[in-house]
Amino acid sequence: METLGRRYPNGQQYLKQLAELQAKQSAASGIGVSPVGGTSDTAEDQQKIEDELAALRSRAMLAHPALKFDKLLFLKRAANVYGHTYSDQNANKMGGNLCILSAASGNIGAPDGKVTTLVPELEGGLFDRFDLSYDATKVAFGYKKQDGAFHIYEIDIDPQAGKMVPGSLRQLTFACDSATGWSVSETVVAAGPVYGSCRR
């Protein structure tokens, strides 16, 4: 907030509220800092301060200028029963899709978001990581069908509407080379063939 100055909406107000709550918290903990607005010496009062701090952090975070965009591309997957570093590459539950979260208010952190499924044609399979083009008009991603191998696909998207351009779904990699473990695209681009992992 101090760095962004006036570009951070209500930034100075948030800092003032933070200072007041920290003073209350210190007083409630018996540190000896004079409280603002009274003395708190019970567990209930301390929990109230913690709740107020959490709410303030949430408001301040969602007001950050970096969140002033209206669409977010994300990957929806079936939840694992556990989570660790390798959950992504070891995912094996079918289902999910590439989705876009749109916020009518222009702030992706606002509660008025709407989720749009980008590739309904591929429902029921497993989506892997994706890459969005610099101009937000294309998305390349890994995908496999039940009992199949991962292949690379690409779609065109309308960044304003937040939807896939109809008929733009393209599969870029195909048959797996058992000797190398990679699938090779039938389309040769300027830099050469397109390769993708055949991992299952």
Dist CA 200 CA 194 (whole Å): 19
Q: Are 158 and 165 in contact (CB under 8 A)?
A: yes
Q: Are 106 and 67 in contact (CB under 8 A)?
A: no
Mean pLDDT of 50-63: 89
pLDDT digits (tens, 9 = 90+) for 137-182: 999 999 998 888 889 999 999 988 889 999 999 999 887 655 555 5
| 129 DSSP β-pair partners | none
| 189 DSSP β-pair partners | 192
Alpha helices, DSSP H, located in 83-192: none
pLDDT digits (tens, 9 = 90+) for 156-165: 999 888 899 9
Q: Are 11 and 4 in contact (CB under 8 A)?
A: yes
**pTM for this model (two decimals):** 0.58
